[in-house]
Amino acid sequence: MNNQVLIIGLDPAKISLPEVSSDNSFSKGNICIVQLKTAQQTSLLLRKLEGFPDIQAYSLKEFYSIMSAKEREYTPLKRLEPREFVDFQFSEREQFVVINNGVLSLLEQKNKEFEEIGTFEKAIRCLSSDDGVFVCFVGGRMIEFRTGRYLEMFSRIELGDEVVNMSFSPDNRFAVVSTKKETSVWDIFKNECLTKQQGVTGDTVLDEDHVYFLGLGKVFSLLQGKEVEPDPKLSFLKCIRHHNGQKVEFSDDRVQKIRYEVGEYKLSKTHANIEDIKFYFSGKRCFVLMTKNIQKKKVQFVESYGTDGITLTQLEGCVEQIEVSDKMFVVVDTKQTLSFYIRNRFGFGMAKQIRKEDDLLIALYDDICCVHDADTGNIEFYDNGELRSAYSHPSCTGISWSYSGLYAASVSAGDCSSGLVQMFNRNGKLLWKKVFNRLTLFMWRPFSHLSSEDKAKAVEEFSESIENDTSEEECTEDTSELLSRWKSYLISKKQRVLSLK
């Protein structure tokens, strides 16, 4: 095996190499073995073949070494600490992330102040799974998956090009990652790439068991680990959206149809003349903003879907922003009119309109709407459409509510911003404010909502069983299965909570 090179994918008709001839090589199919005279010739040929993207080359000794190596199951970088992990998920700690001066900081909101939990370098972007179990640091071609209260490293993946987009499956077990060249699907717990697709257009959607590449008309089965024959209806499916156990689909065949599911409950409605459609979710409802062409005139509607049926509301003007909750939705139109639509026995009816003079930013939680008025430079809190308080915040670029709804943050982020962050309680009272120099990101971290009784039971029963399992020495190589069970447990608890609401 000395000085022999194995080449896979070499087509002599397309690529001619002086080092490879009929006298020193043997070929069968796309596999070629070349016998060279010296180790230097072998090294030079291997280096040369690295420049051909469709060719793989190995020294024959290296190839046999790879083939004989025992396959090892991926072991996450973070060892599961059951009590700490469970406790964070159900503690309802209000954590948030800021990136300023090129450094990512993890902070914890504590009533009238905040505490710094940790800082991290080289994180350009940051996003979170829907349940907050994973917080991802994205920097160039690298994604780091972190977990636990202190965001310890769980795993990392490196792509062939810069990451431009990323999303999670409904159970937050899988991730879709898009670069400039391709879209790939990853099993987060095994740190394994399941499939790659190039030239992806349209939505790439992770369902419970499948990945839909809607623009390509392809379907990948997560259970079978391979591409499967798509349903003929897939060609008419334009988008699929998931949130908090809810699922909505929009198809455009001979008729346009919206399908809604939550648990065993299903609804559908046919439409015509929809030119544009957008979906917004609250805790228990899906709101659909539709633009229709009726008698050569554009008209906008909001339909909402829930277990109590479908509501329909025709809007006035052209929508610029919309925020939704189970109790109401709020709209800002192109004329900077703020409209409050509150739930009644017939659906959602307009309760109040306020005309403003300049651009608006809005954020809604339950029946509390936080508004930034660029004309006055104020942050205003409205309770069911009634103004309760106002504070100054010039050049605000964003408002976001914490996942408990206890806090709202107004932020000035971006290249020319002040970096000011102001924290309010849900009554519109200012708790603290701070300037973060060169602030580029503010993001709340989600968490799972459980009652104190369920949390205590989870900590006692689940962590005890995990501690018993992890005490076994041979269990160290089976961490992915352990984490899979933990993930399934979180999902079942989340579904239980939703069923009680």
Ranges of each domain in the chain: 4-68, 317-397+424-431
Is residue 52 over pLDDT 80?
Answer: no
Whether 413 and 419 have beta carbons less than 8 Å apart is answered as: yes
DSSP β-ladder status, 398-401 and 386-392: unpaired
Of the ranges 24-28, 58-62, 105-109, 369-373, which one carries the lowest mean pLDDT score?
58-62
**% of the chain at pLDDT higher than 90:** 49
Residue 469 DSSP SS3: helix
Model pLDDT for residues 257-291, shown as the tens digit of each residue = 999 999 999 999 999 999 999 999 999 999 999 99
Question: What confidence score (pLDDT) does residue 460 get?
Answer: 67
| pLDDT computed for residue 23 by the predictor | 85
Quick one: which of 102, 127, 97 has its CA closest to 114?
Answer: 97
CATH of domain 317-397+424-431: 2.40.10
Q: What sections of 356-429 are H helices per DSSP?
A: none
Tokens, residue 362: 């809005």
**pLDDT at 72 exceeding the cut of 80:** no
Q: Does 375 have pLDDT greater than 50?
A: yes
Q: Are 27 and 17 in contact (CB under 8 A)?
A: no
Cβ(12)–Cβ(30) below 8 Å? no
Q: Of 12-21, 336-345, 376-385, 457-466, give the lowest mean pLDDT range.
A: 457-466
When the pLDDT of each residue in the chain is averaged and rounded to a whole number, the result is 85
Residue 240 has pLDDT above 60, yes or no: yes
Which of 86 and 215 is assigned the larger pLDDT?
215
**pLDDT at residue 473 greater than cutoff 50:** no
- Least Cα distance to 115 among 144, 80, 153, 149 occurs for 149
What pLDDT, on the 0 to 100 scale, is given for residue 87? 56
pLDDT at 323: 98
Cβ neighbors of 36 (< 8 A, separation 6 or more) are: 3, 4, 5, 19, 24, 42, 45
